[in-house]
Structure 1
Amino acid sequence: MSIRTGLIGLGMMGRHHARVMRTVEGTQLVAVADAMGDPHGVAGDLPLYDSVQGLIEHGVDAVVCAVPTGLHEEVGLALAAAGVHVMVEKPIAHSTEAGARLVEAFESAGLVGAVGHIERFNPALQELRRRVQAGELGRVLQISTLRQGGFPARIADVGVVKDLGTHDIDLTSWLAESPYERVAAETAANSGREHEDMVVASGRLASGVITNHVVNWLSPVKVRQTTVTGELGAFVADTVTADLTFQANGSVPTSWEAVSAFRGVSEGDVTRLAIAKPEPLKTEHEAFRDAILGVRQDHVSMAEGLDTLRVAEAFIESARSGSRVTL
């Protein structure tokens, strides 16, 4: 049986979803929708509707929702009421209250509700997590992320914390397999818009792992880097190139007494790992498909998306109040 899929939101992300949805085995993209039309010409010979109602009436089993964040709740609730599985782009919603309503709607209807936290499906991070689970770092001590680049004109309804920062919150919690316990953050708004465009944040997970995140929209240098430091060394993932590097702790003993008294580590061998690099967006869509089929459950659930949004709002609250926030 082929899953009949629809897409609502044909903007920058929507055009990529449309391309990938046409290639996912076991699914068939049957209709698309956008109130603003089809700016990138992705519909082709598919029916193009101007609302979610059009998709519902056309007849779909699952929908990818790539509309602006402020519309996620309205569109998602309509689809849940119609019995349609949904993957909504991240963040899950514009507020935790709206996100909680989405979680409840999909759980009570027994439907798959997923959130498009695509970084989880980056091959470098998937391989990193597998190796951490296999014990290659020993105990994980710290996770540090750096995510910066130019200003995206496409984003107007949320700031950099909810748009980009949610990537790092989600992947950090997922890599460590632990929720956030407390956070502290500073934000800045330098671009003349309502929302913040820079954030630096630190945190502590329930497992004891400490974290730090630097995220901004105001850098001419695009960086997407995650560093996981453990007892045995550090993994560095570059999610732009999907490269994964391991730097081992040095194990060469020293006879210099003044140095050997320091209980730290030294630089060991550096290895760039050869890994397969499937497109993250396609891997994400395959996980959504398999969740609908009941084959596996490694999609990002709406409940997980809501947890991520709660942490993002804690970042914003910490910056506003000047205090650390406990979750």
Structure 2
Amino acid sequence: MTVRDAEIGMGIVGLGFMGRRYAQFVSQIEGMKLAAVHDVDRALAERTVAEFGGQVFENVGALAAAAAVDGVMVCTPEHLHVEAAIAALRAGKPTMVEKPIAHSLEAARAITDAASTVGVPLLVGHLLRFEQRWTAARQRLDAGSIGDVVSITTRRIGNVLDQEVLKGRTSIPLYYGVHDLDIMSWYAGAPAVSISATRHSGALRAAGYDVDDFYLAVLTFDNGVLGTAELGWHVPAAAASARTSGVVIVGTRGLIRIEQSETGFECWTDSGLDRALDVIFWSDAYGIPAGALGVELRHFADCVRGRCVPAIAPHEAVEALRLSLAMEEAATTGNTIDPRTYESA
């Protein structure tokens, strides 16, 4: 029996917010199993294998080289992606990396170069590309349902409580913006040729968080499509929604609107709204993983089996990172930047 048909073993590097969800879903999806995990927190790794199966490895190299591991999923913070991803790729293992692909363009190119050299699949986990509303929008655009795209407006304002987890280790453009800038490019169907941005800073820093408050960006694409992105961390802790986000796509013969904030499901307790519950991105029914994460992980399994190529090409993930970094620099300097020639580290 070949890996194309057999149950495939996954190794997960990093067991934080997303890594734990990966572990749960891998253990539940038919045809997949959790074969190996690695995390700097050994106790967390031990608890994970006790709950979902697999073996704990002391380092990424040993995990990637294990015969039981058919594919590797890298779920560490982005500044640690390059070491883990390259180790997995050089071991000849199909590799999935959480978004953003890396913290710098140099690191991102090192990852994509390793995948190209070895010739194994590399999938970057831009989750919105696997959520039915966002894919339905792309299908309608491809069908010409709203004519030619004129403008794309995205909004993603997260809850201030996110900072209790992130501790200022990343920026708004890298954490949130990379989602929307990837989607904007996907919908525009052309590369961005200019980006200008501004930001507000001070309120969150005064509250003890080493991050900016808000970003606004304007993009122009090579085919004339205009894009605007609104990004922030100012949904109050007591708000009824964990975040407010969505997109409006205006075409010459219509428009498409996605409101991501409303799922139609809320659970309130004496402690308030339970924001940990999700019915869109990583839900499950009767122990069967569903939602966008379920679709994404099944797609990666098919890539491991050789049944398809990654739906998101590595260069697309690099371009999403490039736009995110260019947004930061544009806001910092006040300059309009041409992303096609932007090469900041």
Deviation for aligned residue 1:316: 0.9
The alignment partner of 2:170 has SS state of coil
CA contact 1:124–1:242 (8 Å) conserved in 2: no
- Contact residue 195 and residue 326 of structure 2 kept, 8 A: yes
Residue identity over aligned pairs, in percent, reads 29
Cα pair distance change 1:240/1:25, threshold 3 Å = farther
> What is aligned with 2:275?
none
Within 5 Å, give how 1:108-119 maps onto structure 2.
108-119=117-128
SS at match of 1:144: strand
Partner SS, residue 42 of structure 1? helix
Whether contact under 8 Å (1:201, 1:212) holds in the other structure is: yes
The equivalent residue for 2:193 is: 181
TM norm structure 2: 0.80
Structure with the higher fraction of residues in helix conformation: 2
Query: Which residue matches 1:140?
Result: 149
Secondary structure of the corresponding residue to residue 299 of structure 1: coil
Q: CA deviation at 1:199?
A: 1.0
Find the partner of 1:154 among 165, 168, 171: 165
**Preserved contact between residue 161 and residue 196 of structure 1 (Cα < 8 Å):** no
Task: Choose from 15, 31, 55 the match for 2:63.
Answer: 55
Of stretches 186-195 and 14-23 in structure 1, the one that deviates more from structure 2 is: 186-195
Counterparts of 2:250 and 2:132, CA distance in 1: 19
CA distance in 2, matches of 1:125, 1:38: 38
CA contact (8 A) 2:198 2:331 kept: yes
Cα distance in structure 1, aligned partners of 2:9 and 2:201: 43
Instruction: State the one-letter code of the partner of 2:135.
Output: Q
Q: Does the CA-based 8 Å contact 1:123-1:242 persist in structure 2?
A: no
C-alpha distance in structure 2 between counterparts of 1:77 and 1:197, whole Å:
34
Q: CA–CA distance in 2 between the matches of 1:288 and 1:30?
A: 15
Could you tell me whether the CA contact under 8 Å between 1:122 and 1:242 is conserved in 2?
no
> Could you tell me whether the CA contact under 8 Å between 2:121 and 2:304 is conserved in 1?
yes
- Look up the match of 2:231: 215
Code of the residue aligned with 2:165 in structure 1: it is R
* Counterpart AA for 1:104: D
1:58-99 Cα distance to aligned partner (Å, 9 max, x none): 331211111111100111111112111111111110101110
User: In structure 2, do the counterparts of structure 1 residues 290 and 241 end up closer, same or farther at CA, with 3 Å as the change threshold?
Assistant: farther
What root-mean-square deviation, in Å, do the aligned CA atoms of Structure 1 and Structure 2 show?
2.0
Deviations 1:244-293 (A, max 9, x none): xxxxxxxxxxxxxxxxxxxxxxxxxxxxxxxxx95000111122222233
Aligned length: 294
2:20 is equivalent to residue 15 of structure 1: yes
Contact 1:69 1:157 in 2 (8 A): no
What amino acid sits opposite 1:84 in the alignment? K
Cα distance change, pair 38–125 in 1 and its aligned pair in 2 (3 A): farther
The residue aligned with 1:46 is 54
- In structure 2, what is the equivalent of residue 31 of structure 1? 36
SS of the aligned residue for 1:315 comes to helix
SS at match of 1:126: helix
Aligned to 2:343: none
Distance in 2 between residues matched to 1:298 and 1:47, nearest whole Å = 27
Deviations 1:96-129 (A, max 9, x none): 1110111101111101111111011111011111
Distance 1:25 1:206 in 2: 43
The yes-or-no answer on 1:102 pairing with 2:127 is: no
* Cα distance in 2, alignment partners of residues 238 and 6 from structure 1: 34
The more displaced of 291-300 and 10-19 is: 291-300
Q: Report the secondary structure of 1:218's partner residue.
A: strand
Distance (whole Å) between structure 2 residues aligned to residue 226 and residue 180 of structure 1 = 18
Structure 1 gap segments, 5+ residues each? 244-276
How many angstroms apart in 1 are the aligned matches of 2:15 and 2:113?
27
CA–CA distance in structure 2, aligned partners of residues 326 and 90 of structure 1: 23
**Within the alignment, does 1:303 sit opposite 2:318 as a pair?**
no
Matched residues in 2 for 1:139 and 1:89: separation?
A: 32
Q: Which amino acid aligns with 1:78?
A: A
Distance 2:222 2:305 in 1: 33
Unaligned runs of 5+ in 2: 1-5, 265-282, 284-289, 340-345
What's the CA shift for 1:131?
1.1
After superposition, the C-alpha distances for 1:17-40 in whole angstroms (9 at most, x for unaligned) are: 111112333332211111113549
**Larger of the two Rg values belongs to structure:** 1
CA distance in 1 between counterparts of 2:66 and 2:122 reads 20
> 1:5 is matched with which residue?
10
Asked if structure 2 preserves the Cα contact closer than 8 Å seen for 1:69 and 1:91, the reply is yes
